Amino acid sequence: MELDKPIMKTNMLFLIFGLWVMVVAMADKGITVNTSSSRRPKVVNIGALLTVNSVIGRSVKPAIIAAVDDINSNPSILGETHLNLILHDTNCSGFIGTIEALELMEKEVVAAIGPQSSTIAHVISHVVNELQVPLISFGATDPTLAALQYPYFLRMTQSDYYQMSAIADLVEYFEYKEVIAIFVDDDYGRNGISSLGDSLAKNRAKISYKAAFTPGASETDISELLTEINLMESRVYVVHVNPDSGLQIFSIAKKLNMMTSDYVWITTDWLMAVLDSQEPPNPDAMGLVQGVLSLRQHTPNSNYKKTFITKWKNIKEKETNSFNSYALYAYDSVFFLAHAIDTFLKSNQEITFSSDPKLKNNNGSHLQLSALQTFDQGQKLLETLLSTNYTGLTGEIRFDSDKNLVHPAYDVLNMGGTGIRTIGYWSNYSGLSVNSPETLYKKPANSSTSAQRLYSVIWPGETSVKPRGWVFPNNGKPLRIVVPYRHSYKEVVTKDVRSPEGVRGYSIDVFDAAVNLLPYPVPRKYILYGDGVRNPSYSNLVAAVAENIYDAAVGDVTIITNRTRIVDFTQPYMESGLVIVVPVKKSKTSPWAFLQPFTIEMWLVTGGFFLLVGFVVWILEHRLNHEFRGPPSQQIITIFWFSFSTMFFSHRENTVSTLGRLVLLLWLFVVLIINSSYTASLTSILTVQQLTSGIEGLDGMLASNEPIGVQDGSFAYNYLIQELNVAESRIRSLKDSEDYLNALRLGPKLGGVAAIVDELPYIELFMSYTKCEFRIVGQEFTKSGWGFAFQRDSPLALDLSTAILQLSENGELQRIHDKWLASSSCSSKVTEIDVSSLSLSSFWGLFLICGVACFISLSIYFCRVLCQYRRFNPDEEEPHELPEPESARRSERRTFRSTSFKDLIDFYDKKEAEIKEMLRRNRRQVNGHNDSPL
């Protein structure tokens, strides 16, 4: 028995060892064994799908393996459960990727990390949808993968929808309007560029040409493609290709001399996936991309990220010295999945698989579809993933309602020299900024245009001057410029057989002068539009430019709303607006026209004040001024003469009293204003009011039913009908100035027109022809101008607008105007003014002031006279034996004088000097009596 114990112990050891070997072997085959009563499995299978031999794959593979090792070595994440990684190489092939995905699904994986290709993700998503296995991609950026069609697809990287929004904001920031998209023609390239087109359209920019090439295109194919786009106008290129073949494009572009200062190159994040994998950057690669702008998925700097960088240096299986941002997203994908699995298992969920009845082998197929099983708890794990919130190397990992990561952001980078410069950041929170997104999230969102900012850029050709972004195509075709072949007003623009350009006129000289100011040549060819017999339709001419029949229209093209919807106009080089021209005639003047300046009330009040002032001055001057004395008849004549002579400031009588001078001064001021007003009113009546017409302005024209003339081919025809609701039967199209003249002279009763509506520059020329026989009435009722029309988003429109402003500032525009267009000396304003008679209401204030002055002066004067009269004694010269008491004498004088008005008048009629002398004698006499002894 004692010998049997060692044997039994030995057998037990062998049995335990055998069970352990069995468990390990089963684990290697993906078989989950539950050796305890707990439902938590010891091993959970996860898959990984990637192209190992690729730029992204060489960074991602070590990151995924490192993540699994870190999780399995950290019991705090999954506890006793370990992750079993099953990695398959898709070899960047949709077909092989599908086969590898099917083989992976046979191994009962609960989730798959990958794929890195958007094309393969589209195919595999259908497989995982059927088997209910979550697919977590670290590299498939196609925006369409976020559709509801792929419920089990989760993107652990940023969607190209946001990347294309960032590029559109870059294009807008540098003020470009057209780009050429260079992309690989697969799901990744097509859908990304489609999103770019949508983003550019929001900023009023567009993709002028889509240059697509097939995956794996040869160098010859790419060279032909770049040669083709080099002949086009736009010089802003957006490159959206795969990292493994992208540098080949720049290598060929450099050979074609397309990396000079005239070009703008912007790439998506594929370029940084290549350069970030190289440490230090490859000099040859950097030499190909000098001056290029690129994006990189933004990942915040954190201690966690620094630890990973240190760990990366110690990974032995890696094939690159460094890693790109996709490695960080792949590492986070594994950790994110591990935390979700832990949450899933803690909720007492089992991991079971069941056969799908739709995957049975039928019709003798040799495909082992029956080996594929559905993950029974796939929907529950998917819900757990969507609700998991985790902070990893790439920052916060959380999904929004569209299953996109929150806070999408990109680094904006500039390649220069041997290094890479960060010139700013982009986020959908605040747009372009030189501050990192993490700092902006703490502030209110501000994506306004004024808040957008980047550091300076070194462009291709090692220049800091921003490229223009476009050139004239290098295909030998000059700019096709259509010119209206006018029949009338040929000073503006017309045919010229003697000129090598074939055209001449004011508009042509302005256009040539503006083009000469541009910093680049503009080859052009003028093409006449019309037959010269009648003016062409300018609306049809502009439509031909919009339809790409012509590149631009140069002439007297009026800028109106309907035209701005289909073409782009330059800054107006001539101000314009519609005006009304009418015939005029002189009216017969009345022989009593001199009475019309004032109303009857005004004449009466004015005449009354003349007499009043004359009488007041006579009263104030009568006792002092001998010129206002004499017989009564003479004094009456003096009053009338003095009153009305002040009208002409020709009164010969001098005023000596202070009060009289005050009244006269105020009255002469009133007379001055009355004379000036009368003269101005009479002048208006005898001159301006002589011009009369039946239509006095726009309202009068609209109210009448008389015919109206417009210039043939002008927009005024449609404007009157559509905007002013003028009956079409009233409008007459006139070919030239001779038709204008005849129609206005005949008038509506003889088959002519009552008025002509045309633009002011034409009317000024017409008025100079007719020597002011007609007049403009009313005001301009449209405000527009003449401009040069270009196709939508043509960069020439902006450059020529700047040139026109320079011509205006340096006086050249006015010189050209004076050369071709003689300004009319006739009044271009309203020529018939309603002149009404001046009424009393306009002058009653003056009369009031004058009346008050007269009243105050008379009051002061009579108070003074009464005071003198009270002290005056008419019997003071007779001797008296005994003087009476003073109080008795005063009482006697008051009683006597109050009863004798004749004495008061006699007292007033005496001269002031006599009265003063009497008063002095009276005072001496009174004083003498007071001093005599009793």
Let me know the angle formed at the C-alpha of 190 by 184 and 193, rounded to the nearest 5 degrees.
Answer: 100
Mapping DSSP onto H, E and C, the string for 527-588 reads EEECCCCCCCCHHHHHHHHHCCCCCEEEEEEECCHHHHCCCEECCCCEEECEEEEEECEECC
> Is it the case that residue 482 has pLDDT exceeding 90?
yes
> Is it the case that residue 672 has pLDDT exceeding 90?
no
- Least confident range from 393-397, 496-500, 557-561, 911-915: namely 911-915
CB contact set of 791 (below 8 Å; sequence gap of 6+): 545, 546, 548, 551, 552, 567, 568
**φ and ψ of 463, to 5 deg:** -125, 150
> Is it the case that residue 554 has pLDDT exceeding 70?
yes
Contact 116, 138 (CB under 8 A): yes
DSSP string, 370-382: GG-EEETTHHHHH
Contact 839, 601 (CB under 8 A): yes
Who has greater pLDDT, 437 or 18?
A: 437
DSSP string, 293-350: EEEEE-----HHHHHHHHHHHT-SS-SSSS--HHHHHHHHHHHHHHHHHHHHHHTT--
pTM for the full predicted model: 0.67
Q: Confidence band (pLDDT; 50, 70, 90) for 634?
A: low
Q: Confidence band (pLDDT; 50, 70, 90) for 477?
A: confident
What is the model's pLDDT at position 461? 92
Contact 266, 291 (CB under 8 A): no
> Is it the case that residue 30 has pLDDT exceeding 50?
no
> Is it the case that residue 608 has pLDDT exceeding 90?
no
SS3 at position 810: coil
Q: How many residues in total does the chain contain?
A: 934
What does the alpha-carbon distance between residue 471 and residue 796 come to, in Å, rounded to a whole number?
10
> Is it the case that residue 15 has pLDDT exceeding 80?
no
- Least confident range from 115-129, 204-218, 805-819, 837-851: namely 837-851
Instruction: Give tens-digit pLDDT for 169-199.
Output: 999 999 898 999 999 999 999 999 999 999 9
In the block, which residue shows the tokens 């001046």? 838
> Is it the case that residue 632 has pLDDT exceeding 80?
no
Contact 550, 481 (CB under 8 A): yes
The CA radius of gyration of the chain, in Å to the nearest whole number, is 52
**φ and ψ of 412, to 5 deg:** -100, 120
Across 877-897, average pLDDT = 45
Q: Which residues lie across from 463 on neighbouring strands?
A: 459
Across 649-661, average pLDDT = 66
What is the model's pLDDT at position 666? 78
SS3 at position 447: coil
What does the alpha-carbon distance between residue 250 and residue 287 come to, in Å, rounded to a whole number?
10
What is the model's pLDDT at position 629? 63
What is the model's pLDDT at position 610? 76
> Is it the case that residue 361 has pLDDT exceeding 60?
no
> Is it the case that residue 44 has pLDDT exceeding 90?
yes
What does the alpha-carbon distance between residue 730 and residue 199 come to, in Å, rounded to a whole number?
49
What is the β-pairing status of strands 264-267 and 708-711? Answer: unpaired
Q: Which two tokens stand for residue 147?
A: 């559709």
Q: Which two tokens stand for residue 218?
A: 């040869």
How far, in whole angstroms, is CA 879 from its chain's centroid? 107
Helices 812-820, 506-516: axis angle to 10 degrees equals: 160
SS3 at position 760: helix
Contact 789, 546 (CB under 8 A): no
What does the alpha-carbon distance between residue 696 and residue 778 come to, in Å, rounded to a whole number?
6
Q: Confidence band (pLDDT; 50, 70, 90) for 795?
A: confident
Across 47-54, average pLDDT = 92
Phi-psi region of 431 (alpha: psi -120 to 50; beta: other; left: phi over 0): left
What is the model's pLDDT at position 91? 84
What does the alpha-carbon distance between residue 174 and residue 291 come to, in Å, rounded to a whole number?
14
For residue 575, give the nearest of 828, 768, 794, 767 by alpha carbon.
Answer: 828
Q: Confidence band (pLDDT; 50, 70, 90) for 734?
A: very high
Who has greater pLDDT, 213 or 662?
A: 213
Who has greater pLDDT, 203 or 637?
A: 203
What is the model's pLDDT at position 928? 57
Q: Which two tokens stand for residue 79?
A: 């506890």
Instruction: Give tens-digit pLDDT for 104-146.
Output: 888 999 999 989 889 899 989 998 998 999 999 999 999 999 8
For residue 191, give the nearest of 154, 227, 147, 127 by alpha carbon.
Answer: 147
Q: Confidence band (pLDDT; 50, 70, 90) for 844?
A: confident
**φ and ψ of 919, to 5 deg:** -65, -35
What is the model's pLDDT at position 628? 63
What is the model's pLDDT at position 210? 96
Contact 735, 714 (CB under 8 A): no
What is the model's pLDDT at position 808? 94
Helices 243-255, 55-72: axis angle to 10 degrees equals: 150
Contact 262, 470 (CB under 8 A): no
What does the alpha-carbon distance between residue 361 and residue 368 come to, in Å, rounded to a whole number?
7
> Is it the case that residue 359 has pLDDT exceeding 80?
no
Please list the alpha-helical segments (H only) found in 687-751. Answer: 698-703, 716-722, 737-746
> Is it the case that residue 201 has pLDDT exceeding 80?
yes
What is the model's pLDDT at position 141? 94
What does the alpha-carbon distance between residue 857 and residue 660 come to, in Å, rounded to a whole number?
8
Number of alpha carbons in the 13 Å side-chain half-sphere of residue 231: 9
Who has greater pLDDT, 695 or 167?
A: 167
> Is it the case that residue 94 has pLDDT exceeding 80?
no
Across 21-49, average pLDDT = 60
> Is it the case that residue 412 has pLDDT exceeding 80?
yes
- Least confident range from 111-120, 289-298, 895-904: namely 895-904
Element (H, E) at 415: strand 409-416
What is the model's pLDDT at position 282? 85
- Least confident range from 25-39, 535-549, 723-737: namely 25-39
Considering the chain, what is the average pLDDT of its residues? Answer: 83
What does the alpha-carbon distance between residue 135 and residue 130 come to, in Å, rounded to a whole number?
12
What is the model's pLDDT at position 294? 97
- Least confident range from 442-451, 577-586, 866-875, 925-934: namely 925-934
Burial 618-644 (b: 16+ CB within 10 A, else e): bbbbbbbbeebbeeeeeeeebbeebbe
What is the β-pairing status of strands 708-711 and 731-734? Answer: parallel
Percent of the chain clearing pLDDT 70 (strictly above): 80
What does the alpha-carbon distance between residue 799 and residue 925 come to, in Å, rounded to a whole number?
106
What is the model's pLDDT at position 758? 94
DSSP string, 65-81: HHHHHHHHT-HHHHTT-
Contact 49, 112 (CB under 8 A): yes
In this structure, which long-range contacts are made by residues 726-731, counting pairs with CB atoms below 8 Å and at least 24 apart in sequence? 726/702, 730/705, 730/706, 731/707
CB contact set of 559 (below 8 Å; sequence gap of 6+): 569, 572, 784, 785, 786, 787
CB contact set of 123 (below 8 Å; sequence gap of 6+): 94, 97, 98, 101
Instruction: Give tens-digit pLDDT for 301-310.
Output: 999 999 998 8
Mapping DSSP onto H, E and C, the string for 144-165 reads HHHCCCCCCEEECCCCHHHHHH
Number of alpha carbons in the 13 Å side-chain half-sphere of residue 215: 13
Across 320-330, average pLDDT = 91
In the block, which residue shows the tokens 């008296």? 880
Q: For residue 344, how many other CB atoms are within 10 A of its CB?
A: 23
Across 215-231, average pLDDT = 93
Q: For residue 309, how many other CB atoms are within 10 A of its CB?
A: 12
Who has greater pLDDT, 51 or 632?
A: 51
What is the model's pLDDT at position 146? 87
